[in-house]
Amino acid sequence: MSCIFCKIISGEIPGEMLHQDDEIVAFRDINPRAPIHILIVPRKHIAAMNEMADSDLPLLGKMAGVAKQLAKAEGISERGYRLVVNCGLEGGQSVPHLHMHLLGGRQLSGKMA
Ligand code: AMP
């Protein structure tokens, strides 16, 4: 198992865990691009959006639900935040394990990237 997010999920390498349930974990991004930058990650190793089977799609809703809860817990619900899923090379994906970014705590650019 060489996937860095699988290693964080299994506890083999440390992560600042903020949420864990039977399907989803969330931990702080090691290289934060905003005061709040959290990664919401399914335990199941799915390499990217493109690799999601139809039966995996409910996970995205669960990830969004965890993101919403964490935004509230981190105090950014009212000010606003951004959820991002990068896919593939041109999408800017660098870790090949599906994840959602929760970004907030500063005014984010109006541009998408
Ligand atoms: P992406 O570019 O969408 O694939 O996002 C991958 C994210 O994972 C980047 O924002 C990295 O900073 C983050 N990252 C990489 N390694 C770690 C790690 N060991 N712990 C926490 N976040 C990480």
Any catalytic annotation for residue 45?
A: no
Q: Is 79 helix (H, G, I), strand (E, B) or coil?
A: coil
Q: Which of 19, 37, 45, 99 is catalytic?
A: 99
Q: Identify the pLDDT of residue 68.
A: 98
Is this structure's pTM higher than 0.75?
A: yes
End-to-end CA distance of the chain: 31
DSSP structure class, residue 55: G
113 residues of the chain, pLDDT tens digit each: 799 999 999 999 999 999 999 999 999 999 999 999 999 999 999 999 999 999 999 999 999 999 999 999 999 999 999 999 999 999 999 999 999 999 999 999 987 76
Q: Identify the pLDDT of residue 14.
A: 96
Q: Identify the pLDDT of residue 11.
A: 96
The answer to whether 40 and 99 are in contact (CB under 8 A) is yes
Identify which of 30, 50, 93, 101 to mutate to test ligand 1's pocket (most ligand atoms within 8 A of the CB).
30
**Can you tell me which atom of ligand 1 is nearest the CA of 28?**
21
Task: Enumerate the β-bridge partners of residue 26.
Answer: 19, 40
